[in-house]
Chains A and B, each alone.
Chain A
Amino acid sequence: MREYLPVLMFLAVAIAFAAGTIGLSSIIVPRRSNARKMSAYECGVEPVGNARARFSVKFYLVAVLFILFDIEAVFLYPWAVTFRQLGLVGLIEMMVFIVILLIGYLYLLKKRALEWD
């Protein structure tokens, strides 16, 4: 178990640091609140309405599609780095991968998954 000791120490330091800074700031913070400060933070823009509004389920579809293509695009980077060593075989394999991705993309275009209405 000895090799886990640094992990435990790290954990203890991390908890102490987080608890310490939050605790300290809650003690020494000046409390001068006004209406603007208490309002919800919306990227610096004037807040419009309540933050607990219901979202359209369509966001969910867009988010899922985004994650799908985003993660698959990440696979292109290691290929780009090792492009020379992989040579022609690597090119063919990546083309297969991209074509599969492309078919998925064309399919969702056809199914109008990216159109809002």
Chain B
Amino acid sequence: MNVLPTPVLLAVDWWALGAVLALSAGILLLLLLEFFPAQARSNRSAIVALLTLAAAGWSVFHVRDAKREIFGGMFVHDGFTVFFTLLFCAAGALAVLLSWDYVKRTRINQAEYYALLLSATAGMIIMAASNDLITIFLGLELMSLALYVLVGFQRHHLESNEAALKYFLLGAFASGFLLYGIALLYGATGTTGLGQMAAVMIDSPMLGNPLFLLGGLLLIIGFGFKVSAVPFHMWTPDAYEGAPTSITAFMSVGAKAAGFAALLRVLMRAMGDVQADWIPILSGLAILTMTVGNITALLQNNLKRMLAYSSIAHAGYVLIAVVAGGRDGAASALFYLAIYAVMNLGAFGVLTLLGREREERVLISDLAGLGFRHPALGIALTLFMISLGGIPPTAGFMAKVYVFSAALNAGLVPLVIIGVLNSVVAIFYYLRVTVALYMEEPQGEPVYVSWATPGVIALIASVVLTLWWGIQANGLLAAAQRSVLGLL
């Protein structure tokens, strides 16, 4: 007697899943290697993590032109996925290089640190590749849970614990909002798949449908938390300040890009028909995020907190690109996120080199005179600051130009004016760092710089890319434009 239906095994194209598989294998390898205890200053885990990220990046680059839908359309491999996977792998690799010496100095050089970093990367990739709200949630949780632990990785550090707890509690709350939003959208449309959702809306328009609107709002709150948009940004400065600096560098770039990747795919794939509903909401968020981020950053004396508020402000600029929408808007968002990734990793990367054994020097006043004692470091930090401020000939300038021009073409003149005014305000606090570097006398003991080859390599890579994309941005822009074709 056979009452059960024969189960269907899904044919899965494993290449399309290559990056996630490579990362999972790397995580398992890192845990298995724990059977052979390593020295406190061992580089083994860092090397494994770096090779894993390279393998993940290669596996997706190798099939970059393919377009596949696997697991019943829940996971898509397209240009968009490839772009973000490469971005996350690169950000992860730079973060590993920056961590290399930093984790030894702070006594957290453990395999688990790198294993969690790889799981966070895998979560980000799943978020960017999801074509279904449930898969997005899965990726988001994988990323967030790993990051909660990483933020609190300095277990004997009070600030690290506080940061982790705040991040975890608020993050869990935001996940709840996101999940509730998914439930309401499912209630309104009868599906969680983004493609199916768009198909449902052809037959029954959802514009102004209260259930759908509320679900979409809750979804935006959930994503707004992850990209730290005002008013969902409260956790950002505390989490960024308390976390190990190498992790701050990674999460300020990766988690933000992953949040925007998922938001872009949801808005472009499923919610094109209800644009009139979300454009005013996101415009308001963009204005608030830029203004509050920049004005609060003016008041900071701690460089980590200043960069945290600056990262909030940058989320606001990307939101302008999202509001602009269409092919240009989405492409300029991707372009901005890639450039923001290198310059922000670079800026935090300089911070990972400052201070010696178990000592953090992250006040702006600590930088006094550093530009003369360590000219190379001073020039690198100055470059990242003017790039974050959006001054030519750096990549940050190109990023802002493309975002604002996409917004102008979409007719968003007020948003662009507010954005430009904000960029002017922002220049003040970025230049404050430069002033400290070159025009102030050090008070007390000058800051010690812990030179380490891997960190320097990461900084050189960031400097080169920041300059290169500032002069020759066409290649990256074309890649971003190709990547969003599948979304529309």
Which residues of A does B touch, CB under 8 Å? 81-82, 85-86, 89-90, 100, 103-104, 106-107, 110-111
Complex alpha-carbon distance, A106 and B6, angstroms: 35
Q: Are A106 and B35 in contact (CB under 8 A)?
A: yes
Q: By the criterion CB–CB under 8 Å, are B31 and A85 in contact?
A: no
What is the size, in residues, of chain B's interface with A at 8 Å between Cβ atoms?
10
Residues of B within 8 A of A106 (CB): 32, 35
Tell me, in angstroms, the Cα distance from A26 to B475 when the chains sit together.
79
Q: State in angstroms the CA–CA spacing of A103 and B142 once bound together.
A: 19
**A107 touching B4 by the CB < 8 A rule?**
no
Closest 3 pairs (CB-CB, A-B): A107-B31, A85-B6, A103-B28
Chain A residue contacts of B4, Cβ below 8 A: 81-82, 85
Question: In the bound complex, what is the Cα–Cα distance between A107 and B112 (angstroms)?
Answer: 11
Which label, helix, strand, loop or mixed, suits the secondary structure of the A interface?
helix
List A contacts of B1 (CB < 8 A): none
Chain A residues with Cβ below 8 Å from B6 are 85
Out of A86, A103, A107, A110, name the residue touching B7 (CB < 8 Å): A86
Residues of A within 8 A of B31 (CB): 103-104, 107
Q: Are A89 and B9 in contact (CB under 8 A)?
A: yes
How far is the CB of B48 from the nearest CB of chain A, in Å?
14
Mark out the residues of chain B between 16 and 48 whose CB falls within 8 Å of any chain A CB in the assembled complex: 24, 28, 31-32, 34-35
> Once the chains are docked, how many angstroms separate the CA of A109 from the CA of B204?
55
**CA A89 to CA B7, docked complex, whole Å:** 12
Query: A86–B4 Cα gap in the complex (Å)?
Result: 12
Partner of A110, one of B9, B24, B28, B34: B34
In angstroms, Cα B9 to Cα A89, docked, is 8
| Nearest-CB residue, chain B, relative to A89 | B9
Q: Is the interface of B mostly helix, strand, loop or mixed?
A: helix
- Chain A nearest CB, measured from B7 CB (Å): 5
20 contacts between A and B (CB under 8 A): A81-B4, A82-B4, A82-B7, A85-B4, A85-B6, A86-B7, A86-B9, A89-B9, A90-B7, A100-B28, A103-B28, A103-B31, A103-B32, A104-B31, A106-B35, A107-B31, A107-B32, A107-B34, A110-B34, A111-B34
Bound CA span A106–B24, Å: 17
- What residues of chain A lie closer than 8 Å to B7, measured between beta carbons? 82, 85-86, 90
Chain A residues with Cβ under 8 A from B9's Cβ? 86, 89-90
A85: chain B residues at CB < 8 Å are: 4, 6-7
Give the CA-CA distance A107 to B115 in the complex, in Å. Answer: 13
Instruction: Output the least CB separation between B8 and chain A (Å).
Output: 10
> How distant is the Cα of A106 from the Cα of B30 in the complex, in angstroms?
13
Which residue of the partner chain, among A86, A89, A104, A110, contacts B35 with CB atoms under 8 Å?
A110
A104 to B28, CA, bound (A): 8
Question: Which residues of chain A are near B35, meaning CB under 8 Å?
Answer: 106, 110
Complex interface: chain A residues within 8 A of B24 (CB): 100
Among B6, B24, B31, B34, the one with the most A-chain Cβ atoms within 10 Å of its Cβ is B31
**Chain A, residue nearest B30 (CB):** A107
For the complex formed, measure the closest distance between the CB of A98 and the CB atoms of chain B, giving whole angstroms: 13
A103 to B9, CA, bound (A): 25
In the complex the two chains form, what is the Cα distance from A82 to B7 in whole Å?
8
- B9, closest chain A residue (CB): A89
Provide the residues of chain B in CB contact with A107, threshold 8 Å.
31-32, 34
B36 nearest in chain A by CB position: A110
Report which residue of B6, B7, B24 has the largest number of chain A beta carbons within 10 angstroms of its beta carbon. Answer: B7
Residues in chain B near residue A82, CB distance under 8 A: 4, 7
Q: Which residue of B lies closest to A87 (CB)?
A: B9
- Which residues of B lie under 8 Å from residue A104 when comparing CB positions? 31
- Complex: A110 Cα to B4 Cα, angstroms: 41
- Alpha-carbon gap, A110 to B30, bound state (A): 13
Please, which residue of chain A has its CB at the minimum distance from the CB of B4?
Answer: A82
Residue in B closest to A90 when the chains form the complex, CB atoms? B9
With both beta carbons as reference points, the residue of chain A lying nearest to B31 in the complex is identified as A107
Contact with A along B65-88 (1 / 0, CB 8 A): 000000000000000000000000
Residue of B nearest to A82 (CB): B7
